[in-house]
A and B are shown apart, each in its own frame.
Chain A
Amino acid sequence: MEKLSSAGRKEPETRRPLGAAVYQWVDERLGISDVVKLAAKKRVPEHKHSFWYYWGGVTLFFFIVMCLSGVLLLLYYRPGESAYESVRQITYEIKFGWLIRSIHSWAANLMILSAFVHMFSAFFMKAYRAPREFTWWSGIVLLLLSMTFGFSGYLLPMDDLAYFATKVGLSIPAVVPVVGPWVSDLIRGGPEITSFTVSRFFALHVVIMPALFIPLLMFHLALIQKNGMSMPESEFDKPEAERKSIPFFPNFAMKDLGVWLVALNVLALLAAVFPWSLGAAADMLTPAPMDIHPEWYFMSSFQVLKIFGGIIPGVTGEFVALGVFQLGLLLWFLVPFFDPSTKGGLRAKLTTYFGLLTIAILLVTTIWGYWVLPSSH
C-alpha cells in the first residue's frame, strides 16, 4: 500500500511485523498505549523488606482462584432444600468435584491468611501514611468482606458442622439491644436456620458480596497504581540515589507470577493431601456438638466473647465484647491519623507496639480458643 508524502508523491510504506501492526490498529481504537505508559511508570522499591510486597498479590491470586473454583461449583450446587445433596454429589460422585470443592475451601482459608499477613506487613511498614490512607481503609473493609464471604459460604453445604457453626455465629448479633434480634432474623430469613437461610446466604455469597468486593478491590488496586508502592522508613533515610527499584512491568510482575505459581502448588498440595470432606446432613433436632467452633479466623472473636461472657454474665458480657471489637476496629481505622508523620518518633513507636499487641492478642486468643475445645483433650 502506498501513502502520499508531504510533496504529494507516492511513497512505499515500509512493512511492519504483524504483531506491531495489530497493536497499532487496536491502539488507534482503544488507546491502550496510554494504559501501557501508565503501567510502565510503576516501580517497586528493592530493599531487604521487599519480600512483603508479594502478599497483596498472593491474596489477589487466591481471590481469583476462589472466583474460578466458585463458578465451577455453581454448575452443580443447588441452594435451598437440595443444598446438602448437591454438595454430596459434588464431593462423592462428580468427577473431580471433590478437588474443586477442596480447592475452593482451602483457597478461602489461604486468602484470609495472606490478607492478614498483607495487612500486618503494610501496617508495620507504615504504608497507611499519606497519601495512602484510603488504600488502608479500603483494605480493612476488603478483609472484613472476605471474612463475610467465608461466613456466608460456610453454611452452604448444610452439613451439621455448617449448620451449627452458623447458628452459633448468628446468635452474636442478637445480643445487640433493640435491633439485634431483628438483624439476626433478617440474616436468617426467620427465627431459625432453614433452607431459606441457605438461599439467602447463597445470594449474599454469590451476588451481593462480589458486587461489593470487586469494585472496592478495583479501587484498592487503582490507588496503589496512582500512589505507587510505599517504602519502609529505613529507605527514606537513604539518599535518593542509593534507593533501588525495578519496573513493575515486566520485572516485578514476572516475579509475582512465579510466587503465584508457588502459592498454586501449596494450594494443590493441601487440597490433594487434606481434601475437604462432608459431615452428616444438618439435623435441627439434634443438639450442637460439644466442640462446635467457627473457622480459625473467627476463633479469636469467639474466644473473646467467651472470656467476657465469663466475666460479665449473660448477654451483657457478649454485648461488652462486641463493643470491644468495635473499639479495636475503630482504632485500627484511625491509625493513619494517630501516626501520620514520616519521621520516627513516639507515636510511630507506639503504633508499632499497638500492632504487635494486636497480633499477640489475636494469636493467644485463637490458640486459647482451640485449646479449650473438648475434642482437644
Chain B
Amino acid sequence: MIAIIAVIHVMISHFAIGGGFFLPIAEAKALREGKPEWLKKLKGYSQFFLVLTGVFGAMTGVAIWFSIGLASPSGTSLLIHNFVFGWAIEWVVFLVELAFAAAYYYTWNRIPDRLHLRLGYIYGIVSFVTLVIINGILTFMLTPSEAWLSVAGSGQEATVFFQAFFNPTYWPSLGLRTLVCLSMAGVFSLVVFSRLDGEKEGTVKRQMIQWSAMWLLPSFFLMPFFLLCYLWLVPASQRELMALGISTIGMGVFTQVTRMSLITLMTSATIVVVVYLLAYRNPRGFRFGAAMVVVFLAFLATGATEGVREMLRKPYVITDFMYSNGTRKNQVAGFNQQGYLTASSWAPNKSAITPQTAQTNPSYAQNPTGDRMFLGQCMACHTIDGYRSMKALLRGRNEEAIGNILKMLHEPSSDSPYKGFMPPLVGSPEEIDALRSYLHSLVIPTL
C-alpha cells in the first residue's frame, strides 16, 4: 500500500515542481512569440494542474504519513524528532506553494502579464524548495552521515542537523529528482495536450506536443551521470544488494533489487525514445490513449526506481542505526540479555487476557509472548497471509526447521543468506522459543 500511494505521490509531486516551471516558461514563450492560442490552453492546463497537485498531491502526501506511521512508527518518530524544523518549514512552504498555485490560476487575464508570470515563477521556486527539504530527510535515511551516527541517541543530534541534512547522497539525489521533475512536466503536459483536436487545432497541438516532448531530454542525457554518482555514494554493503540477482533468481525475494534495477534502466532509457517516436514525430495524431501509455511507462520507471531506493536500505530503515523493524543497532545486545519485550513497546500485559480476549484475539490469548514478538519484530515487513506472507514463506517446515531459521536470524554469520535483508532477531531464549511455536502455529501442514 505504501508503494502505490508513494509512487503516485512522487509522480504528482514531481509534476508539481516541474509543472511549476513549465507553465510560466510556456507562458513567457507564448507572450514573447505572440501565440495567444497557447495562452488559452495554458490557462486550462493550470486549472488541471491546481486540482491534481493541490488535491491529489496533498491527499497522497498525507496518506504516506498514515502508511509509514503504521509500518514503521519508530522510524517515523525518529525522522520527526530529528528534523522537526525541517518538517515545520516544509509545511509552511506547502501552504505558500498552494496559495501561489491558486493565485496563478485565478489571476489569469485579471492582472498584467508580467505580474502573472512572476506569480508563476515564484510558485516554481517555492515548489522547488519543498523538494530541497524533503530530499534531505529522504536521503538521510540511506546515508545519515558519520557526524550524525557519532551522536545518534545521545540527545545531541540537533548539533549536527545540517551534516545529517546535507548528507553524502543529498546532492546526486537532488540532481536526479530535479531531472525527474522536468520529465514529469513533459509527461503530464503530453497528456493535457493530447486531448487537443489534431485536425481543428493542428498547429497549436503540434507546437505544444513537440515542446512538451523536449522536456524529457535533460533527464535522458544527465540522469546516467547523477545515477552513477548516487550509487557511488551508497554504502558498499547496501550496493551489494543490487548484485544478488545477477547470477541467479534462486534467492527469490532477495533478487528483487536487481530485477527492479533492470526495470528502471529499461523504462528510463526507452521512455524518451517512445515519446520521440509516438509524440514528437506525429504530434497531431498523438492521442490520449498513447499519452496514457507514456504515463504508464513513467509510472513503471518511478515505481521501480523508488522501490530500488527503498530496498537498498535493507536491513535498515536508518542505515547503521535503526533496523526495518524499529530495533536500534545499539539496542541489540541489551535486548538479547534482558529480553525484547521487557524494553519494547510491544510488551504483553498478561493480566489483560480475559475470556473476551480469547475470542477477539485468540493467537494473543494462546501465546502472548510469541504474538508480541511477531508483532514487534516481524510485522513491519511481513503479514500473516497477505504481503510477504509468513504462512507461505514457512509452508512445509516443521518446528525444528523454523527454529533453525530463527537461529540463523538471531546469530547471523557473514555468509547468512538473510544478512543483506533481514534485521537480527533479538530477545531472550524464552522469547525466541515462544516465537518459534507461534510461527509453527501459522504454518499450513503439507499433505
Contacts and interface: CB of A to CB of B under 8 A. Distances in A.
Q: Do A and B come from one complex?
A: yes
Interface of A: 46, 51, 91-99, 102, 250-251, 254-255, 257-259, 261-262, 264-265, 268-269, 272-273, 275, 277
A258 B282 CA distance: 11
B80 interface: no
Contact of B247 (A93, A102, A275): A93
A272 B262 contact: yes
A91 B248 contact: yes
Contact of A98 (B248, B267, B276, B297): B248
A254 B282 contact: yes
Classify the interface of chain B: helix, strand, loop or mixed.
helix
Given A91-B248, A96-B247, A97-B247, 17 more contacts: A51-B289, A92-B250, A98-B248, A254-B281, A255-B277, A255-B281, A255-B285, A258-B277, A258-B278, A261-B277, A265-B270, A265-B297, A268-B266, A268-B267, A269-B263, A273-B259, A275-B259
B274 interface: yes
A255 B278 CA distance: 5
A93 B246 CA distance: 9
B262 A268 contact: yes
Given A257-B277, A258-B274, A268-B262, A46 B248 contact: no
A92 B249 contact: yes
15 contacts: A91-B248, A94-B247, A95-B246, A97-B247, A98-B248, A255-B285, A258-B276, A261-B270, A268-B262, A268-B263, A268-B267, A272-B259, A272-B260, A272-B263, A273-B263
Interface residues of B, number: 26
Contacts of B246: 95-96
Contacts of A273: 259, 263
B222 interface: no
Contacts of A277: 249
A272 B262 CA distance: 7
Contacts of B68: none
Classify the interface of chain A: helix, strand, loop or mixed.
helix
Contacts of A275: 249, 255, 259
A96 B259 CA distance: 10
Interface in B236-294: 245-250, 255, 259-260, 262-263, 266-267, 270, 273-274, 276-278, 281-282, 285, 289, 293
B308 to A, nearest CB: 12
Given A93-B247, A98-B249, A254-B282, A264 B262 contact: no
Contacts of B250: 91-92
Nearest to A252: B282
B233 interface: no
B248 A92 contact: yes
Nearest to A94: B247
A46 B285 contact: yes
Given A269-B300, A275-B259, A264 B266 contact: yes
A254 B249 contact: no
Residue among A259, A264, A265 with max Cβ neighbours from chain B (10 Å): A265
A250 B277 CA distance: 10
A53 to B, nearest CB: 13
Contacts of A91: 248-250
A294 B274 CA distance: 36
A97 B258 CA distance: 13
A273 B253 CA distance: 10
Contacts of B277: 254-255, 257-258, 261
Residue among B277, B289, B300 with max Cβ neighbours from chain A (10 Å): B277
Contacts of B260: 272
A258 B291 CA distance: 12
B17 to A, nearest CB: 25
Contacts of A261: 270, 273-274, 277
A265 to B, nearest CB: 6
Contacts of B248: 91-93, 98
Nearest to B290: A258
Nearest to B303: A269
A254 B267 CA distance: 18
B267 A265 contact: yes
Given A91-B250, A94-B247, A255-B278, A262 B273 contact: no
A246 B393 CA distance: 55
A94 B274 CA distance: 31
A97 B270 CA distance: 22
A338 to B, nearest CB: 34
A94 B285 CA distance: 45
B297 A262 contact: yes
Nearest to B282: A255
Residue among A92, A251, A269 with max Cβ neighbours from chain B (10 Å): A269
Contacts of B282: 251, 254-255
Contacts of A265: 266-267, 270, 297, 300
A134 B247 CA distance: 46
Contact of A262 (B247, B262, B274, B276): B274
